[in-house]
A and B are shown apart, each in its own frame.
Chain A
Amino acid sequence: MTSQDNRFVARVLVYPRAEVLDPQGRAIEDALGRIGFDGVRRIRAGKSFEVALEAEDERQATEAVDRMCRQLLANPIVEDYTVEWVSE
């Protein structure tokens, strides 16, 4: 995690949970097969968000982004999320 003047940038990746059927990923997987890409084992189609925020410290930034994910960015019933920190 890097910060300048308490500014942080998180990259949030949201994917359908492994046990949840991902019709979009499945369709892309099939399409890749049709155009000749053999050996594709799996496609999961997800979303990514870049969250630029200000926070007092790393801990506060981490907590805030985690709450955002649980309350809005991901639906924990069918999606998992991961957070990476990137430099602006």
Chain B
Amino acid sequence: MKCGIVVFPGSNCDHDVYHVLSHVLGQETTFLWHQETSLEGCELVVLPGGFSYGDYLRAGSMAAHSPIMAAVRRHAEAGGRVLGICNGFQMLLETGLLPGAMRRNRDLRFLSVDVHLRVERDDLLYCSNYRRGDVLRMPIAHAEGNYADTEEALDELERRGQVVFRYVDAAGRLEPVANLNGSERAIAGICNAGGNVLGLMPHPERCAEEMLGNRDGLGLLAGAVAAGGGRVGALAAAGG
């Protein structure tokens, strides 16, 4: 599958994603500069982590208005796969491709630490290598990952089954102490209604090889490039 990684000024996880998609998973992978207006036929578009535009104004807000984002939006709206990791997730929120917003972490600290995530959906292509309830270990590295939305919007997100990952303890339990950044409902990752756009704060690309001591994230990137036509994990069953 042809994969494109969008590079913004300040992106710093673009090469990590490239390494996993290209060298570990053997996919045709290319970088797409944010000033471009074409996705060059890429089927999977990755918005990588980093500090695009130095996090000016709000994390992801400047990148959300980059020239290439119009093409990313069209791709997403046509059912194409878009994966936003960390700063890429923040961009998806700022573009409105995913609902909600990020606040500063509850304790105002930049958090660079391994966390545990519980897989809430396994009917998405992205999660096709996991089972619902699986507990994954992945690193986070962010200052603005404290997910927020109105109570009504959060209820709607839950009702439509759009919460894909939650912060839990090692045993998979929802514990306030495991939700380090203070996210509403311990949300670590969400998808859009079609299931083709996924955003998450943790970094699967940093834990995708045994050599690194953890390959829990490989399944997610492998799922992102898994063959599968039509909609990516339709939400029809959720009744929303």
Contact = CB atoms under 8 A, between A and B. Distances in A.
A24 B65 contact: no
Interface string B59-74: 0010001000000000
B106 interface: yes
A77 B150 contact: yes
Interface residues of B, number: 19
Nearest to A74: B58
Interface stretch (B24-32, B96-104, B128-136, B191-199): B96-104
Given A20-B148, A72-B61, A72-B65, A77 B108 contact: no
A77 B104 contact: no
Contacts of B52: none
B114 interface: no
A22 B150 CA distance: 15
Contact of B148 (A24, A27, A73, A77): A77
A41 B92 CA distance: 36
Given A78-B101, A78-B103, A23 B65 contact: no
Contact of A21 (B61, B65, B100, B182): B182
Interface string A15-37: 01000111110010000000000
A77 B149 contact: yes
Contacts of B65: 72
A interface, size bucket: 10 to 19
A3 interface: no
Contact of A75 (B61, B108, B146): B61
Contacts of A22: 103
A66 B61 CA distance: 17
Contacts of B105: 23
B107 interface: yes
Interface of A: 16, 20-24, 27, 72-73, 75, 77-78
Given A20-B103, A78-B103, 8 more contacts: A21-B146, A21-B148, A23-B105, A72-B57, A72-B61, A75-B61, A77-B149, A78-B101
13 contacts: A21-B103, A21-B182, A22-B103, A24-B104, A27-B108, A72-B57, A72-B61, A73-B57, A75-B61, A75-B94, A77-B148, A78-B103, A78-B148
